[in-house]
């Protein structure tokens, strides 16, 4: 941004940490070297620099991390207490997913002004940050590990600021587009995403079509759940069963969100009807394909730390629901839970908060008469 007297004020990590710098400009050309004027701005997101030299910016004060616990799928034993995946460090980790063999956990590590996809060996605790090639930005929501164990699916933006779903090779960190969004920016018509059970296609929600399957090799798309044909005003989820024959999702026909299952070309059937005042998020099937995990919470309670989300399991055959007794103080609408083959649950806990700051008196004394 321009300072009141015509300098450029910018953020840079040219000296190591991200700091504020000014650069003198004359007739559109830089004059001299940049001058450091403000330290400690690593987490700053600029808002405005006023005419009187006050710099307004936001910074995150969130505290989120990935945890795991042991979940007895029979319901006979209560769940264990949550354990942070990295006990020795508190990090901004979100969006976990298990490798098919249950030995590794992928998640997003948020760092100031950047995000990294990390893979942690759950036996040794060793973490490998993927050097994405080409690099991506805006990776914030979740990871999805392919059933064949070879790739991860994420939502992000490429170097040309084209948003979409991207496929990451777990071994080489090579990145290929799975689908680039048609609209500009982070198009919210595109929603949650999953893998098909054969790892050849990706599944995603797209309004107003519904839940769509896209073959990675050919780009051919097919609507799996047609919103208009099924009288749905909204859908979310779209999680395939382990055998690939059924699809579980949350759907709304104008009376509230219900849990639905669609098998093959049959119309969706309602497993759990809408509950007044309750929001529902479908997360995954259990490994045996008999139950579906979902969270429910008060739609009017935005803070999950004060009002934790409840994790439930519902039987796909008869719609019998049971409380797993797991309570998640985290945004399960954004960060889905992940269940390993041996019953370890991974999820994101914590708050997402932001602060507005103002910094004054840091600029050099204005020079009379100079304006941008």
* Longest CA–CA separation in the chain, Å: 78
Residue pair 34/22 in contact by the 8 Å Cβ criterion: yes
> What count of other Cβ atoms lies within 10 Å of the Cβ of residue 371?
10
**Residue 162: its pLDDT value, please?**
93
pLDDT digits (tens, 9 = 90+) for 230-248: 999 999 999 999 999 999 9
> 265 vs 160, 223, 284, 289, CA distance in Å?
39, 11, 21, 19
pLDDT for the residue 185: 79
pLDDT per position as a tens digit, 185-236: 789 999 999 999 999 999 999 999 999 999 999 999 999 999 999 999 999 9
What's the whole-number mean pLDDT along residues 241-259? 95
**Please, are residues 97 and 108 in contact by the beta-carbon 8 Å criterion?**
no
Mean pLDDT for the chain?
Answer: 91
62 has pLDDT over 80: no
Is pLDDT above 90 for 24? yes
Paired strand residues for 151: 169
Cα-to-chain-centroid distance, residue 327:
20
Give the pLDDT band (50/70/90) at residue 170: very high
167-193 mean pLDDT: 93
Do the Cβ atoms of 211 and 205 come closer than 8 Å? yes
- According to the model, what pLDDT value does residue 112 have? 63
Task: Give me the mean pLDDT over the 89-95 stretch.
Answer: 82
* Tens digit of each residue's pLDDT (9 = 90 or more) over 106-135: 999 987 667 899 999 999 999 999 999 999
**Is the whole model's pTM more than 0.75, yes or no?**
yes
């Amino acid at each position: 941004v321009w300072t009141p007297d015509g300098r450029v004020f910018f953020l840079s990590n040219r000296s190591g940490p991200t700091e504020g710098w000014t650069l003198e400009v004359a007739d559109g050309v830089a004059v001299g070297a940049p001058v450091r004027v403000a330290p400690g701005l690593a987490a700053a997101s600029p808002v405005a620099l006023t005419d009187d030299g006050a710099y307004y910016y936001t910074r995150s004060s969130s505290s989120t991390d990935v945890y795991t616990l042991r979940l007895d799928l029979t319901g006979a034993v209560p769940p264990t207490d949550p354990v942070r995946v990295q006990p020795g460090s508190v990090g901004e980790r979100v969006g976990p997913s298990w490798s098919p063999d249950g030995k590794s956990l992928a998640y997003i590590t948020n760092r100031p002004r950047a995000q990294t996809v990390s893979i942690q060996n759950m036996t040794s605790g060793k973490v490998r940050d993927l050097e994405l090639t080409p690099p991506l930005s805006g990776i914030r929501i979740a990871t999805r590990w392919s059933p064949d164990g070879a790739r991860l699916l994420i939502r992000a933006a490429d170097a040309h600021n084209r948003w979409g779903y991207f496929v990451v090779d777990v071994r080489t960190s090579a990145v290929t587009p799975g689908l680039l969004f048609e609209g500009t920016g982070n198009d919210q018509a595109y929603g949650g995403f999953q893998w098909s059970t054969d790892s050849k296609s990706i599944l995603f929600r797209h309004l107003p079509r519904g839940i769509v399957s896209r073959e990675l090799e050919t780009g051919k798309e097919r609507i799996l759940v047609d919103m208009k044909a099924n009288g749905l005003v909204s859908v979310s989820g779209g999680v395939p069963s382990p055998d690939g024959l059924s699809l579980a999702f949350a759907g709304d026909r104008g009376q509230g969100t219900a849990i639905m299952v669609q098998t093959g070309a049959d119309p969706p059937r309602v497993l759990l009807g809408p509950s007044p005042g309750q929001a529902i998020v479908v997360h995954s099937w259990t490994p045996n394909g008999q139950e579906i995990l979902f969270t429910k919470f008060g739609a009017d309670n935005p803070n999950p730390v004060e009002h934790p989300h409840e994790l439930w399991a519902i039987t796909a055959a008869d719609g019998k629901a049971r409380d797993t007794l797991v309570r998640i103080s985290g945004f399960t609408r954004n960060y889905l839970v992940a269940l390993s083959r041996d019953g370890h649950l991974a999820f994101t806990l914590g708050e997402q908060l932001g602060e507005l700051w103002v910094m004054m008196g840091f600029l050099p004394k204005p020079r009379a008469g100079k304006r941008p």
